[in-house]
């Protein structure tokens, strides 16, 4: 195991230390000899050591903390390690890999924007297994009509098929967080969408969910400056519906029409 490197609160670090949880996460990847594996945020290497012992074709890791990068390079000199911030990483670069699988215990403070970027840019992957704060996991898998259903739910479910695998108690981390975590698996959805359409969808979601308690017709009137009842009805959408009742496909049609 790696030598201690005290977690940095500013980076939202909570290092996984339980071998059984690590083994369950690696098992969920269902690794095969032809797989390419990317670990995001290896931290002190709890998952990394297990992944190193697993079957794969190519394995590399992405870590933001330069202090941890130095330790990882000492302990795992053959690890293909990228020292970079995942929030600014070009995830489209990974679409060239076949049989790509992603895994990681994501920092609480950046998990949502990180997942937003990954699944908005990456489409050529087999599956991804990520651990996040339990509350975030519940938002990710929430369905229309659920009070937790929101911008993140729509975006991630539009580009992927997320499923909660199991919950994780605070005691398996160092330092222990104040809340539970959850491990999710994401499978790709085959979505045909251009870069321009993706930007329109993103803008649509942000505009609409800023006023999530209002009726859709009022939200669009405030944004566009004119009434859209007839146009909404032409899209088979109730003008009086509220954002939390709309599906990802509904939002996509709205984006193409108005944004």
The residue segments making up the domain with residue 231 are: 195-258
Residues 178 and 250 grouped into a single domain: no
Q: Which of 163, 188, 213 is the last residue of a domain?
A: 188
Tens of pLDDT along 10-62? Answer: 656 688 999 999 999 999 999 999 999 999 999 888 999 999 999 899 999 99
Q: What is the pTM of this model?
A: 0.92
Residues 208, 179 within the same domain: no
Model pLDDT for residues 186-241, shown as the tens digit of each residue: 999 989 899 999 999 999 999 999 999 999 999 999 999 999 999 999 999 999 99
The 10s digit of each residue's pLDDT in 88-134 is 999 999 999 989 999 999 988 899 999 999 999 999 999 999 999 99
CA neighbours within 13 Å on the CB side: how many for 193? 25
Residue 163 domain-assigned (yes or no): yes
Q: Is the dihedral of CA 193, 196, 201, 202 positive or negative?
A: positive
Residues 6+ apart with CB under 8 A from 46: 1, 15, 16, 17, 18, 19, 22
In terms of DSSP H, where are the helices of the chain? 19-29, 46-52, 66-75, 111-121, 134-141, 151-159, 195-209, 216-224, 229-234, 248-258
Specify whether 19 is located in the same domain as 142: yes
């Amino acid at each position: 195991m790696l030598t201690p490197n005290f977690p940095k609160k500013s980076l939202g670090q909570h290092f996984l230390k339980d071998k059984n949880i690590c083994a369950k996460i690696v098992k969920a990847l269902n690794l095969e000899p032809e797989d390419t594996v990317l670990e995001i945020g290896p931290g002190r290497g709890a998952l990394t050591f297990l992944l190193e012992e697993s079957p794969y074709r190519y394995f590399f890791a992405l870590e933001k903390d330069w202090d941890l990068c130095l330790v990882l390079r000492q302990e795992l000199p053959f690890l293909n390690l990228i020292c970079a911030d995942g929030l600014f990483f070009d995830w489209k670069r990974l679409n060239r890999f076949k049989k790509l699988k992603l895994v990681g215990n994501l920092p609480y403070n950046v998990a949502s924007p990180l997942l937003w970027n990954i699944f908005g840019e990456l489409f050529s992957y087999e599956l991804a297994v990520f651990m996040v704060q339990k509350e975030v996991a519940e938002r990710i898998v929430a369905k229309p009509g659920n009070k937790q259903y929101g911008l993140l739910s729509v975006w991630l479910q539009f580009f992927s098929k997320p499923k909660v695998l199991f919950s994780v108690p605070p005691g398996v981390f160092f330092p222990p967080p104040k809340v539970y975590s959850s491990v999710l698996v994401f499978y790709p959805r085959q979505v045909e969408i251009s870069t321009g359409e993706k930007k329109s969808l993103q803008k649509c979601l942000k505009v609409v969910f800023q006023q999530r308690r209002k009726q859709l017709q009022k939200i669009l009137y405030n944004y566009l400056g004119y009434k859209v009842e007839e146009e909404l009805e032409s899209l088979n959408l109730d003008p009086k519906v509220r954002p939390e009742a709309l599906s990802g496909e509904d939002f996509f049609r709205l984006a193409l029409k108005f944004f």
